[in-house]
Chains A and B, each alone.
Chain A
Amino acid sequence: MDLVLLFTMIIASIAFVGLVMILTRWISPRTYNRQKGETYECGIPTQGETWIHFKAGYYLFAILFLMFDIEAVFLFPWATIVQELGIKALVGVLFFLFFLILGLAYAWRKKALEWK
């Protein structure tokens, strides 16, 4: 039943946005002006290309994020049963977190966390 509801909500959100967009296109006025379709950048004509290779700094953080996000995937199942496993789970996760923090420390040492 939950999956049916999830599917329903996905369809409902698509229908909602679609209906709103159709409604606003239907009742809003429409005039033509040669300048209207231009890119809005302070009113002067646009200079240069926008779709370029972007700053690599963001890419670096995305890679770091990937490492820590995978860790979250592994830690969630562990977190639900830590009460039953007791001290065993604590020791097990210590090793896991040790390597994870080692990775963060390495990135920190290599100055990957500075914004350049």
Chain B
Amino acid sequence: MLDFTTITTAIDQYLHSVMPAPAATLTECAIVAICAIAAYLVFAIVMIFMERKVCAAFQCRLGPTRVGFWGILQVFADVFKMLIKEIIEIKRSDHILYNLAPFLVVMSSLITFCCLPFAQGLQVLDFNIGVFFIMAASSFGILGILLAGWSSNNKFSMIGAMRSGGQMISYELSVGLSILTLVVLSGTMQISEIVEIQTQGWFIVRGHIPAIIAFIIYIIAGNAETNRAPFDLPEAESELTAGFHTEYSGMGFGLFYVAEFMNMFIIAGIASALFLGGWAPLYIPGLESFNNAMCWIPGIVWFLGKTFFVIWLLMWIRWTFPRMRIDQVLVLEWKYLVPIGLLNLLIMTICVVMGWTL
């Protein structure tokens, strides 16, 4: 399988041979930053296009077809349209916080995006506390949403932000507990190591029953974390116009929109890295020739395939279920998902200690 560390080491050596060490480090940082932001935008555009096409398919429509072949250029046209929209200054808003909010939201989702293992060695941030860092960085985004709602001085925004805050912090517990269950199984928090272990079998197979329960809890809680239907009450169109970003126009709104879609990609990416093996190919013990054949498919194809499968699952959930009320959302979290998550953690610990894993 192609290891990207060979490519990065080659670039590193080349840069060090043509310029002094500090300049080389600076150039590398610039290259990494540009590549990460480019990938972020490309995936955002792919996701928005996919959302439209999948939504259309679920409603027996065709979706965008006119702009470009099969509507491919539609999203580019929309981005350009959003860029030339006027930015409206709200008279009574808190201007500093109002302009600060998009920065926080995009920063949190971009940093979390950098932690995803796209292929072997193709990962920007790989801390030894990786999973924990992802939780910390992603909870940063709630701050931006609360600021956006509070500073707009609009009742719709305010209610949307409060609902969003209450919902996101609640469901973060379930995300944390299901990730914790997987850390018990893997024995490490570093994402590259977690994926490396899974080349000998994916965790959802090795952890059997507790891992499958954790996966289901993670999908439900992840859906709520990204504020998507059936948990989309922070921006319920029929009651709150647009929720916390009612007062944002043009690209201010566009950045929230992109960050929201990328949060969904990140949730799916973490699910594929922790549960479905990330870039690790399908492994069946005993079938050597089959495993070798699977190794010929590049890791990035495996990762993106699994991620887009999970995204498709999230979109399916979104276009199937009606919206919930805030009391139902909180009861589902505190009376069902948290106790089940704690119990599941105990079951997983017993399985690991007794050696009942596959």
Contact surface of A with B, Cβ cutoff 8 Å: 2, 4-6, 8-14, 16-18, 20-21, 23-25, 27-31, 36-41, 46, 50-51, 54-55, 57-58, 61-62, 64-65, 68-69, 72, 75-76, 79-84, 86-87, 89-90, 93-94, 97, 100-101, 104, 108, 113-115
Residues of A within 8 A of B184 (CB): 79, 82-83
Q: 5 A-B residue contacts at CB 8 Å?
A: A29-B84, A40-B247, A76-B131, A76-B189, A86-B353
Residues of B within 8 A of A25 (CB): 87
With A2-B127, A62-B169 as given contacts, are A115 and B326 in contact (CB-CB < 8 Å)?
A: yes
Q: How far is the CA of A29 from the CA of B37 in the complex (A)?
A: 27
Shortest C-beta distance, B17 to chain A (Å), equals 19
A61:B170 contact, CB within 8 angstroms: yes
Residue of B nearest to A107 (CB): B334
A9-B114, A10-B111 known; A41 and B156 CB under 8 Å? yes
A68 touches B180 (CB 8 A): no
B34-49 to A contact mask, C-beta < 8 Å, 1/0: 1011000000000000
Of listed A17, A82, A90, residue having the most chain B CB within 10 A? A17
The answer to the question of B88 belonging to the interface, with a C-beta cut-off of 8 Å to chain A, is: yes
Q: CB < 8 Å: which of A2, A9, A28 contacts B250? A: A28
Return A5 CB to nearest CB of chain B, in Å: 6
Question: A113 to B334, alpha carbons, bound, how many Å?
Answer: 7
Checking A29, A58, A93 against B349 with a beta-carbon cut-off of 8 angstroms, the contacting residue is A93
Please encode chain B, from 77 to 94, with 1 for each CB lying within 8 Å of some chain A CB and 0 for all others.
Answer: 000001111111111100
A94 surroundings in chain B (CB, below 8 A):
346
* Overall SS of chain B's interface: helix
Q: Which residues of chain A are within 8 angstroms of B25 by Cβ–Cβ distance?
A: 4
Closest-CB distance, B36 to chain A (whole angstroms): 7
Closest Cβ–Cβ distance, residue B279 to chain A (whole Å):
20
Partner pick for A55 among B29, B162, B187, CB 8 A cutoff: B162
Q: How far is the CA of A20 from the CA of B252 in the complex (A)?
A: 9
Give the docked Cα–Cα distance between A68 and B135 (Å).
14
Nearest 6 interchain pairs by C-beta? A115-B327, A37-B91, A12-B33, A24-B251, A79-B183, A13-B107
Classify the secondary structure of A's interface with B. Answer: helix
Count class of interface residues, chain B: 35 or more
Q: Are A28 and B87 interface neighbours, CB within 8 A?
A: yes
Q: In the bound complex, how far is the Cα of B90 from the Cα of A68, in angstroms?
A: 38
Complex Cα spacing A61 to B187, Å: 31
Q: Is B61 part of the binding interface, using a Cβ–Cβ cutoff of 8 Å?
A: no
Q: Which of B211-219, B264-272, B290-298, B335-343 lines the interface with chain A?
A: B335-343
Q: Which residues from B are CB-within-8-Å of A115?
A: 326-327, 330-331
Pick the residue among B88, B154, B172, B335 that contacts A113 (CB under 8 A): B335
Task: Find chain A residues with CB under 8 A from B254 CB.
Answer: 20
Least distance between A59 CB and chain B CB atoms (Å): 9
Q: How far is the CB of A72 from chain B (nearest CB, A)?
A: 5
Given known contacts A41-B154, A61-B170, is B255 in contact with A2 (CB within 8 Å)?
no
Q: Which residues of the partner chain A approach B346 to less than 8 Å between Cβ atoms? A: 94, 97
Given contact pairs A50-B158, A54-B158, A68-B173, A28 touches B84 in the complex (Cβ within 8 A): yes
Q: Which one, A16, A40, A64, contacts B37 given CB within 8 A?
A: A16
Known: A12-B33, A82-B349. A2 touches B125 (CB 8 A): yes
Question: Are the CB atoms of B125 and A65 closer together than 8 Å?
Answer: no
Taking CB atoms, residues of chain A closer than 8 Å to B284 are none
| Complex alpha-carbon distance, A72 and B84, angstroms | 45
Q: Does B103 contact A (CB under 8 A)?
A: yes
> Are A9 and B124 in contact (CB-based, < 8 A)?
yes
Contacts of B339 in A (CB 8 A): 101, 104
Known contacts A28-B86, A39-B247; decide if A54 and B162 are in contact (CB<8 Å). Answer: yes
